[in-house]
Amino acid sequence: MGRYIIRRLAQAALMLFLLSIALFLLLYLIPGGPQAVLFNPRLDGAARAALAEKYGLNQPLPLQYVSYMQHLFQGNLDSFNTGRPVLLEIGDRLPYTLQLFALSLIFAVILALLLGVISAIRQYSITDYAATIVAYFGIAMPIFFTALVLQYLFGVILQSFFVTVTGSPWPVFGISSPNADTYTPLQLIADRLQHLVLPTIALSLLFVASWSRYLRSSMLDTVKQDYVRTARAKGLSSRVVFFRHALRNALIPFVTVVAIDFAGFAGGAVITETVFGLPGIGKLFFDSLGARDYPVLLTLLLFAATMVVFFNLLADLLYGVLDPRISYS
Amino acid sequence: MDITQFEGPHAPVPPAPEVIELTPELARKRRGQFRIITDRFLRNRVAVAGFVILVIVTLLALLAPVIEPVRGQFDPATTPNFAIALQGPSLAHPFGTDNVGRDELARWLYGARVSLQVGLFAMLASIFLGVTVGALAGFYGGWIDSILMRIVDALLAIPLYLILFLLSATFFSRGTTLGLVLLIAAFSWLYTARVVRSEFVAQKEREFLLATRTLGAGDLRLILRHIIPNAIGPIVVSATLLVGINIITESTLSFFGFGLQPPASSWGVLLADSESYFTQQPMLVWAPGLGILLTVLAFNLMGDGLRDALDPQMTER
């Protein structure tokens, strides 16, 4: 087990290392790269040389890569745009993104589990059909369109039905109310949660839809297996058979799908944040794109890729917990 | 010496099968594989509904240059008329007019053309890439397989939209349809490659391939004439689903201003243009939004229907 983890970590580290080189070359070589941004045509030769010197752009590419990595890990890689360390820029935005991300992930997994299990137990029931229809629509909606529709629904059509604890209209944009600085801590938490409700629904819908479909079909597959019939024949109640025997085995492919969709989830978070005007990583990404802030962009990509690789590894380790037949060697 | 004595106990000789004459009537009833699959697909009402929606949307898109002169709304991109800006749906303008007074239905029809084009062409390119990579990895195995699949893993680790936003904002800033198609295709072949690879791994040890190879068939012939036809089911299904995915990707890029640039317009561009008028004229958002929703839904329904129809494990009911 320990050896397996070490081997997987080494593989992941190697892959991320190669990926970082590829992304670095991609960003620094394509037309419109850092040179194009910094070398304003109006600059004279001396100013260009000074800028190139300052950002190390006059060095050979391999050296530039090494110095990028060095600065990144020493924490003094500076943003082109603000001049602040990139890690600080990300650290400022991260809490908002993590809140949205965690809420949506928990919400999506729980709802997908519930819907998937109910649809499988009551196959061809009204609940099953309703879940199927909602899932098909959820999968066919671009996340930004879901977000727009939710804003319209809560901000215009259902405006009078939903009000916050303070009696104001339901927030459809931003992360906090304008007069939030007068709130007590408890009100602040409530205010933040209320602002995150719609983004959470918008980000989760697609994943609730596809994950619940997936769980339903893998549940229906396991229910047909011989060992489930054996368990029933032993006299176990259908509840025990369903949850202890069928669900546990159906969860293995479910975990894989959730892990695979992690990258999609991160991309969706960026889109959701932008439509709802949340000041998270997504906003940093779009601001940096506008300013062609390459150090920030490259770091964000590498950060996202590291998280994806980490969660895939976590999913692989979860298999062992879910399925004792799998041994790591 | 009678040779029969070495043959052990004699099994009764099976009677010669009764020869059934292939009458024209029987020939009509005999169903080829294509017929079986078509019949199975047609019996799936939901999948057929998806197919019908697609036929309608495609016809509308194809006929846009025919419909529009009849309606008196010519090129939607070049006819702003501020006098009739932001009107609600009416007989003359069934979807209303946008913020510069262009007929929204005309823009919708021309937008459908672009959305479908991008979806289809990006699908073709990514199926080509995905099948090639998957076939090479699955057929040759070994280090080719390891390298190609590690590349797929690495690309899958980057959130799709981040890299697409970034590349279209820098390299592909021209905003042409072709650039967008290639960009989307460059990152949407990964799942196809995985599916095709696993098909190849499952197929390549089968006896008929050994037999074909013994007869002298080369690698290319084995791959193109023998394995791919056997793996066509999963390829067709992922192609169908890919069109829908690509339409969503294109609309998302265009919505955030990283896709097509005006005057080119797709449903995503329409949404980007009308987002801020949602409360004033909701139809401006509903029309392109529901266009995307219905079209993608139809592709997904059809893809699922094809999956069931093409699956040899599914017994006929």
Q: How confident is the model at residue B316 (pLDDT cuts 50, 70, 90)?
A: very low
pLDDT digits (tens, 9 = 90+) for A69-86: 888 888 888 887 788 888
Cβ pair B310, B34 in contact under 8 A: no
Q: How confident is the model at residue B93 (pLDDT cuts 50, 70, 90)?
A: confident
User: Which helix or strand (DSSP H or E) is residue B271 part of?
Assistant: helix B267-274
Confirm or reject contact between A23 and chain B (CB < 8 A): yes
Confirm or reject contact between B282 and chain A (CB < 8 A): yes
**Spatial distance between the Cα atoms of A196 and A187, rounded to a whole number of angstroms:** 14
| Cross-strand bridge partners of residue B97 | B103
CB distance A31–B301 less than 8 Å?
no
Q: Average pLDDT, stretch B115-126?
A: 95
CB distance A304–B159 less than 8 Å?
yes
- What is the structure's pLDDT at B121? 96
- What is the structure's pLDDT at A140? 94
Q: Which amino acid is at B90?
A: S
**Spatial distance between the Cα atoms of B294 and B113, rounded to a whole number of angstroms:** 15
Of A33, A140, A151, the CB nearest to B297: A140
How many CA atoms within 13 Å lie on the side-chain side of B309?
25
Q: How confident is the model at residue B72 (pLDDT cuts 50, 70, 90)?
A: low
Length of chain B: 317
Q: Is the pLDDT of residue B290 over 80?
A: yes
Q: Taking CB atoms and an 8 Å cutoff, what residues of chain B touch A263?
A: 156-160
Best mutation target among B44, B53, B162, B171 (most A Cβ atoms within 10 Å) is B162
- What is the structure's pLDDT at B94? 80
- In this structure, the number of other CB atoms found within 10 A of the CB of residue B294 comes to 17
Q: What ipTM describes this predicted complex?
A: 0.89
Q: Taking CB atoms and an 8 Å cutoff, what residues of chain A touch B291?
A: none
Q: Is the pLDDT of residue B5 over 60?
A: no
**Spatial distance between the Cα atoms of A187 and A214, rounded to a whole number of angstroms:** 39
- What is the structure's pLDDT at B112? 93
Q: Which amino acid is at B178?
A: L
- What is the structure's pLDDT at B143? 94
pLDDT digits (tens, 9 = 90+) for B136-165: 999 998 999 999 999 999 999 999 999 999
Q: How confident is the model at residue B126 (pLDDT cuts 50, 70, 90)?
A: very high
Of A172 and B12, the one with more pLDDT: A172
Q: Taking CB atoms and an 8 Å cutoff, what residues of chain B touch A271?
A: 161, 252, 256
Confirm or reject contact between B255 and chain A (CB < 8 A): yes
CB distance A141–B252 less than 8 Å?
no
CB distance B300–A139 less than 8 Å?
yes
User: What value does the mean pLDDT of chain A take?
Assistant: 86
CB distance A292–B170 less than 8 Å?
yes
CB contacts under 8 A, A 141-180 vs B, are: 141-145, 148-149, 151-152, 155-156
CA distance B166 to chain A (A): 7
pLDDT digits (tens, 9 = 90+) for A187-214: 888 888 889 999 999 999 999 999 999 9
pLDDT digits (tens, 9 = 90+) for B161-193: 999 998 887 765 566 888 889 999 999 999 999
Confirm or reject contact between B219 and chain A (CB < 8 A): no
CB distance B165–A152 less than 8 Å?
no
Q: Taking CB atoms and an 8 Å cutoff, what residues of chain B touch A32?
A: 170-171, 173
Q: Is the pLDDT of residue B317 over 50?
A: no
Q: Taking CB atoms and an 8 Å cutoff, what residues of chain B touch A209?
A: none
Confirm or reject contact between A268 and chain B (CB < 8 A): yes
Q: Average pLDDT, stretch A104-133?
A: 91
